[in-house]
């Protein structure tokens, strides 16, 4: 009986933590507030200088210039010095001069004292270390050197959520994936890699095919080079030689557009494209029409697309359902996690989260 109680208690706690989302905004009084677990709360009582948010936390510079992090449970003071910081959904890297530091699940560590450039993605931080002219990656709590250069230190060609494509000193192209290096081949020119999560697509100059690196394997997708292609989370989208919009995942190809897409985009889990005057999105493997008018603007993050609707307001596609959030024209909007924040003209706010609409 005790085991059952402990099991359900742990399940409840993990469920609360996984559902935890921090949606930050500044209200009409310029107070820094958040929406979390169905309620609005005030985080700072004085105006902050800026903030950057991921799925699980928000990092910000307060009115005194201090770098702080709030994860929905506690506020953590990081530095009272002038910093350059970048966030992803799960990580934050910040530099103080040449020293590069990391925040990961509330814990701090120094990555290098000789940093130059750095990039933060969902589960990795890639950075240059000028001491030994190396490029390193932080992944899964560990630091790994994967590239040493003889000339000037430079960042890799493509950096995805958890994957890196790069070229070494001998013009050898390689893929870094989950801490392991996979060799592609030698080429004197450049290769246009598009990196997502678990996948990279590119035109292979040696085989003259359009190929992918997919979860540890190099595979041919088309027998000819492709002009336009992008990578998402575990899938790629491209235009074939006939102008058809194609979707590739787990070794299978599907045609998304029979007419040739006027424009298209890929980010995270969503594919967006237009046909004539219609706009569509692919969400959870299902093609959904967004409207009869092509949106003037849109945002994609995770498994959500928010866009300007026919009335000039804001609608969003969430879990296969199109939700009208407001018809107020030119309202600003952002996506945090899988929730949508809408800022109205009077600086009141609407949050759509977990199937419910909340308003300040």
Confidence of residue 5 (pLDDT cuts 50, 70, 90): very low
Amino acid 4: pLDDT: 40
Mean pLDDT of 294-305: 97
| pLDDT (tens digit per residue) in 79-110 | 999 899 999 999 999 999 999 999 999 999 99
Better pLDDT: 226 or 3: 226
Alpha carbon distance, N-terminus to C-terminus of the chain: 44
pLDDT in tens, 24-66: 999 988 999 999 989 999 999 899 999 999 999 999 999 999 9
List pLDDT tens digits, range 272-295.
999 888 999 999 999 999 988 899
pLDDT in tens, 217-248: 999 999 999 999 999 999 999 999 988 999 99
Q: Which pTM value belongs to this model?
A: 0.90
Residue 210: what pLDDT? 98
Query: Does the structure show a pLDDT above 70 at 2?
Result: no
Q: What pLDDT shows up at residue 18?
A: 41
Q: How many CB atoms lie within 10 A of CB 267?
A: 17
Angle subtended at Cα 18 by Cα 12 and Cα 20, rounded to the nearest 5 degrees: 100
The pLDDT mean for the chain works out to: 92
Domains belonging to the chain, first-starting first, are 158-257 (2.40.128), 261-360 (2.40.128)
- Inform me whether the pLDDT recorded for 352 exceeds 50: yes
Mean pLDDT of 255-276: 91
Q: Which residues, in sequence order, are bridge partners of residue 287? A: 282
Q: What is the pLDDT of residues 154-191, one digit of tens each?
A: 899 899 999 999 999 889 999 999 999 999 999 988 99
Q: Write down the pLDDT at residue 117.
A: 96
């Amino acid at each position: 009986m005790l085991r059952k109680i402990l099991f359900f208690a742990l399940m409840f706690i993990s469920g609360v933590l996984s559902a935890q989302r921090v949606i930050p905004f500044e209200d009409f009084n310029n107070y820094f507030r958040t929406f979390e677990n169905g309620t609005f709360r005030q985080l700072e009582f004085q105006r902050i200088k800026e903030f950057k948010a991921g799925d699980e936390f928000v990092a910000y510079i307060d009115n005194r210039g201090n770098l702080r992090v709030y994860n929905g449970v506690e506020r953590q003071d990081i530095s009272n010095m002038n910093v350059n910081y970048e966030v992803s959904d799960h990580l934050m890297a910040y530099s103080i001069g040449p020293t590069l530091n990391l925040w990961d699940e509330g814990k701090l560590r120094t990555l290098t004292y000789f940093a130059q450039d750095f990039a933060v993605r969902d589960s990795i931080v890639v950075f240059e270390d000028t001491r030994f002219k190396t490029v390193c990656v932080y992944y899964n709590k560990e630091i790994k050197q994967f590239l040493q250069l003889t000339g000037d230190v430079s960042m890799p060609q493509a950096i995805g959520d958890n994957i890196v494509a790069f070229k070494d000193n001998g013009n050898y192209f390689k893929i870094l994936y989950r801490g392991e290096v996979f060799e592609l081949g030698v080429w004197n020119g450049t290769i246009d890699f598009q990196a997502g999560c678990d996948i990279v697509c590119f035109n292979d100059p040696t085989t003259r095919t359009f190929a992918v690196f997919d979860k540890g394997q190099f595979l041919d997708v088309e027998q000819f080079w492709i002009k336009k292609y992008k990578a998402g989370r575990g899938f790629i989208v491209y235009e074939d030689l006939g102008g058809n919009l194609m979707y590739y995942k787990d070794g299978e190809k599907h045609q998304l557009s029979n007419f040739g897409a006027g424009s298209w985009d890929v980010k995270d889990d969503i594919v967006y494209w237009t046909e004539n005057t219609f706009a569509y999105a692919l969400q959870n493997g299902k093609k959904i029409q967004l409207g009869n008018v092509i949106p003037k603007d849109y945002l994609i993050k995770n498994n959500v697309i928010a866009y300007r609707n026919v009335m000039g307001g804001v609608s969003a596609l969430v879990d296969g359902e199109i939700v009208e959030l407001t018809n107020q024209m030119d309202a600003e909007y952002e996506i945090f996690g899988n929730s949508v924040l809408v800022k109205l003209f009077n600086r009141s706010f609407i949050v759509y989260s977990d199937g419910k609409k909340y308003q300040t």
